Amino acid sequence: MDSKELEDYEQDTNMLYDLLKFKPIQIIGSTSLTTYLNSELSTIIDKIRSDIARIYGFILPVVEVTDCGFLNSGQIQVFINEAQTIEFDFQPDKIFKINCKVGQPVEFYLDRSLRKYESGWVDEAADDPTVTYFDPDAYLEARLFTHFLNYAESLFTRQATANLIDKLAAQHPFIVEALQSKYPFSGVSVVHNSLAMFLSEKVSIRSLSIIIEGVLDYYENFPEINDLVEMLRRDIVHQLISRVRQNKPLTVLALYGEFERSLALKVKSEVPDEELLSRSMLAKIKSELELFIERLALQELPPVLICSPIIRRKLRDLFSKDFPDLNIISFNEIRDDVPVDLYETLGLPNKARSEMAANNKLISPKFSISGQVPENIKRT
């Protein structure tokens, strides 16, 4: 989206917000930060909005920045849809330190690192490879970028979808006309709900023409939005895979074959969600995820779990709250030319894991499966 299109989009959305007297994003800082808020922060916000639009195809509403004499020195509060969502300390004359290596891309790991490790402002950086330092501008950019992206689903309005479709009509009129003709009343809502679900999983919506073509192809047979999005993912999730790969093999976690087959049979049989996994098994999987994601973070590798298509959505429902940074991808979303490294297997019986550890298998060394799924997991 070029600067002229961005300007037109902002005029449309800002006019709507003005009419509603509604402020979708507000940043409030202490008066000790007034100079910074009025100068450097403006540049940082412009860059964040540009990066999110470039990577994810989503344009953030204009951010309102103000200062407040009631806040403690260095305090920043962020409000989204008029509710406070975060508060943190900011020192523009110091360096921010986190006592761990923060994985990349930063939006997948920053929140997790801040929750798990000690952090704070220091006067200068030390030569320590086990910690991560941010200069104040980089820290604020990373913090706000991650936070805005976490709330993209709620910030992405139906009007924003309508604006994107109107812009698309100039380049792909036949696609938009087909949507309006086939679904004159529900088309925009269906597209909007699909885009919002993609954003909730940090999947780019830049390929809007492909998404709308998918709606035209699949919606009639898959009218339930969750089912529809699972079909649409096949055509666009490669963008997410490219981003987390960074031109390297895709490093993944996988499920133990017998465990996955059992779970798939339960999903096919429409077993209630609360009965899919026993409490002990759910606790075991979460514990293993915590451990393995920690190891991946130390190697600056994004966390990716691959699984059978039939259980992908169920796994997302089970783990998204505790592991919002976990990317869950089904086998059929990985192109054949994408090399894959299997890092670890979840759900292994304790005896099998002990035997493999004793034989130096599976636990540390990664082995390449170069585009193939593990032998104990079959495509379904």
**Structural domains of the chain, ranges and CATH numbers in brackets:** 3-154 (3.40.30.60), 156-236 (1.10.8.540), 246-368 (3.40.50.12790)
More confident residue, 258 or 173: 173
Q: What is the mean pLDDT of the chain?
A: 85
pLDDT value of position 351 = 59
Digit-coded pLDDT (tens) for 79-125: 999 999 999 999 999 999 999 888 777 777 888 889 889 999 999 99
Nearest CA to 193 among 147, 232, 143, 237? 232
Task: Using pLDDT thresholds of 50, 70 and 90, give the confidence band for residue 246.
Answer: confident
CA dist., res. 326 & res. 303, Å (int): 5
Task: Using pLDDT thresholds of 50, 70 and 90, give the confidence band for residue 229.
Answer: very high
- Per cent of the chain over pLDDT 90 is 63
Phi-psi sector, 48: left (phi>0), alpha (psi -120 to 50), beta: alpha
Q: Can you give the pTM of this predicted structure? A: 0.81
pLDDT value of position 353 = 56
Residue 65's H or E segment, with its range, is: strand 64-68
Digit-coded pLDDT (tens) for 255-281: 988 889 999 999 999 998 888 899 999
Digit-coded pLDDT (tens) for 32-85: 999 999 999 999 999 999 999 999 998 899 899 999 999 999 999 999 999 999
The answer to whether 312 and 329 have CB atoms below 8 angstroms apart is: yes
The answer to whether 17 and 23 have CB atoms below 8 angstroms apart is: yes
Assess whether pLDDT exceeds 80 at residue 148.
Answer: yes
What integer is the mean pLDDT of 309-333?
90
Assess whether pLDDT exceeds 60 at residue 17.
Answer: no
Digit-coded pLDDT (tens) for 324-354: 889 999 988 988 888 999 999 998 886 555 5
φ, ψ for residue 244, nearest 5 deg: -75, -25
